[in-house]
Structure 1
């Protein structure tokens, strides 16, 4: 299993084929008609704070080769080429039934445009830039460079949307959608049978995780809503802390391997004094530890509010080999641990402290989506269906630089996306909280 992030799967096949494949919660089987392989679990990668960070995984590059840019582009295009049913099956396209007639006619000299000039369809050769910032130096905030000189190399990915030609007859299609987890063994059997029977099945995934930890994408659906809902918990902790003598509010938010929710919720609330995320190590004890800083806040402000991601500080807790139904390692409860340590510390120093711990858990995702997520879900779903009917398989749909694109599944499951400690957004969060380095 490739343990990265949750992804919804949409499988489309001919009516005589009753099987479909998809993605279960937090484990993905890379369905690819070209290779048709099963992914193995990837160990979570801990990114070091190197000066030069690659935008994406890449092969070893000989920068002394004067043609290295061309070779990089060629390798990138090969990796991001979309698997298609026609690569394996001898199938012919047919005109799409997706109608553009109800979109409002474009008039030229009082007459409708001919069919071949109507816009609305996406050409297979349409591309969107994966990265749009050219960094002048590796020391620029959030710099993602290919070489030490931050050379600019265009990286194009396939644009999503309806095509003029499709490879399935809509009235003869069976579609299966799987959103739940814990189905990995059964889905493996389905994959093997599809391969064995050489079924013409198109599989397109939709990235589903509120953690926002999928590579290459601007954001995943549910993230904006979860950050917005987390404000309720943070505001409650803020009120509790400021209503008590030496009050300390502690909020734990979701984020197993990435701290996007905690970071964005802390920044947007403006009420957090300390934000702790998995990507940035910290110490509780010592002159530069979290506890000493909280003592300073109580002395100077009279209260403090802390936000911690569930995956932060796991090195402080006892390791567990237990896994949940989706195959994830069960994390230690960092929220309870910090709560107990805060109480013990202030008792030892003889300073009274009223600690209130709030853990909203699933409340930040079990709620009505906001308008932004509702629109995102609608367009992702539409483009997933368009991609399947276009004959692509083994791909996922996502949004890159505000444009909807198709990406090969292996490229987005290489590792979890994490917060860059050198990014502008993390710097903004630190400016908002005013916290020091806890090391």
Structure 2
């Protein structure tokens, strides 16, 4: 279960633009057992916690289940949608764009889908490039390519200008594809729309290889990133085993969450140490990483170390905080620091290490989505289209115990999801690496 505070039921209520009174054009059914796909009833819910102690009364806390509704809010032939992709690249961006376009144009029958250029910059005509029309022919094969055909950028724009742009362009539904910064921006846009009492829907689709968005068990791009990272760890193992006292050091993305590092370490099975932001560790001393690594080299003459970019920040010298355009704290580069620390320590104790350093950060996020992520992109995009057409707003589509859910942006964006040191993933990693034998805290 999550480590963040449990929400209230009131916080999980999804905002609607108004009553949905139009019959959906989708050829779905309301009759179970007729071998036709069903609409999702508005009253259907997914439990917040499906696990209970025997004899315990189940909690009523629940999420609204995502999916196609029998009644919709927007008239399809009069509806214009827009899609924007923001933040860093991620496998599956083009898949989401394609699935959204196909669902909206082919199944709902809306006539116009706009592609917003280069992130939220494209919502400000003073700094961004004009949007272009997304057609079936244009998106037909883009899911086989990495990146995003819309372009991306970091940082918000003035929300009043963004809403002015949506009004000027006649946009009824804005789909915001991105991570927590993107979704915070989407929430601010939705809040400005609500202040003006405009009938414009804002729907978020969670994207990040870091997998750190609340109420989304797995964001799209994560599985592909783990698969690519696994390959790098395997190569680091080859390099390490090929020389005396070889150390393969791999730095992976993960600013505040160690999901990629932990999952890729488990998938590879070749790493001996995995360091993540959620579990601080000491570098020096008898129970520190360097001493443990030296013992490993004396025993096996090679080792593989995997570290998330946000881990070990307390090892580095203090410096003034700097932030990127999205408001993220700029991290100091722990990879080269650790590589030098390993070399210096091993030389000092008379057991020199041969360090091979790998930093595949941009590689693992720029490839096209694998089959697992492609399927998730399809699910998330179509659920987002259903939510938008039903007149829901200020929400994102999440994944909770393998159920697609509608989550208010305010409750999803108030904190990042992190890996639990008491959870199954971290316990499995400890069982594999046995690194709890040396770890003793900061």
TM-score relative to the length of structure 2 = 0.73
Measured after TM superposition, the shift of residue 350 of structure 1 is 1.4
Mapping for residues 309-320 of structure 1, pairs under 5 Å: 309-317=308-316, 318-320=318-320
Equivalence for 2:120: none
User: Which sections of structure 1, spanning at least 5 residues, go unmatched?
Assistant: 1-52, 59-74, 108-117, 137-148
Name the SS for the 1:76 alignment partner. Answer: coil
Contact 1:320 1:331 in 2 (8 A): no
Larger radius of gyration: 1
Per the alignment, residue 71 of structure 2 pairs with 165
Q: 1:150 to 1:325 in 2, by over 3 A?
A: farther
Q: Does the 8 A contact of 2:48 with 2:62 survive in 1?
A: yes
Q: Does 1:155 align with 2:61?
A: yes
User: Is the partner of 1:162 in helix, strand or coil?
Assistant: coil
Residue 79 in 1 paired to residue 51 in 2? no
Larger fraction in helix: 2
Within 2, Cα distance between the matches of 1:152 and 1:291? Answer: 47
Residue 283 (structure 1) shift: 0.8
CA distance in 2, matches of 1:198, 1:408: 18
Q: Does the CA contact (< 8 Å) of 2:309 and 2:335 recur in 1?
A: yes
Q: CA deviation at 1:263?
A: 0.4
Structure 2 equivalent of residue 370 of structure 1: 370
Provide the rounded CA distance (Å) in 2 between the counterparts of 1:188 and 1:256. 30
Q: In the TM superposition, what is the alpha-carbon distance from 1:131 to its structure 2 partner?
A: 1.8
2:361 equivalent to 1:413: no
Deviations 1:309-363 (A, max 9, x none): 0000111223342222222111001111110100000111111210010000111
> What is the CA–CA distance in structure 1 between the aligned matches of 2:62 and 2:252, rounded to whole Å?
35
User: Which ranges in structure 2 are unaligned for 5 or more consecutive residues?
Assistant: 87-152, 164-188
TM-score, length of structure 1 as denominator length: 0.74
Distance 1:348 1:370, change over 3 A: same
Residue 119 of structure 1 deviates from its aligned partner by 5.1
Counterpart mapping for 1:28-427 below 5 A = 56-58=4-6, 76-86=8-18, 93-100=21-28, 106=34, 120-134=38-52, 152-180=58-86, 181-189=153-161, 190=163, 191=189, 194-195=193-194, 197-317=196-316, 318-427=318-427
Aligned match of 1:21: none
Cα RMSD, aligned residues only: 2.4
Query: Helix, strand or coil for the counterpart of 2:366?
Result: coil
2:184 corresponding residue in structure 1? none
Runs of 4+ that moved beyond 6 A = none
The one-character-per-residue Cα deviations of 1:395-424 (angstroms, maximum 9, x if unpaired) are 110111111110111111121111111112
Give the conservation status (yes or no) of the 8 Å contact 2:231–2:268: no
Give the whole-Å Cα distance in 2 for the aligned partners of 1:210 and 1:355. Answer: 27
**Could you give the per-residue CA deviations for residues 114-146 of structure 1, whole angstroms, max 9, x where no partner exists?**
xxxx6510110011122222257xxxxxxxxxx
Range with greater deviation from structure 2 (193-202 or 402-411): 193-202
CA gap of 1:403–1:312, structure 2 versus 1, over 3 A, is same
Distance 2:434 2:329 in 1: 33
Helix, strand or coil at the partner of 1:373: helix
1:92 Cα deviation (Å)? 5.7
Q: C-alpha distance in 2, partners of 1:361/1:54?
A: 27
Query: 1-side partners of 2:415 and 2:335: how far apart?
Result: 25
Are 1:252 and 1:309, in contact at CA under 8 Å, matched by a contact in 2?
Answer: yes
Choose between structure 1 and 2 for higher RCO, CA contacts under 8 A separated by at least 6 residues: 1
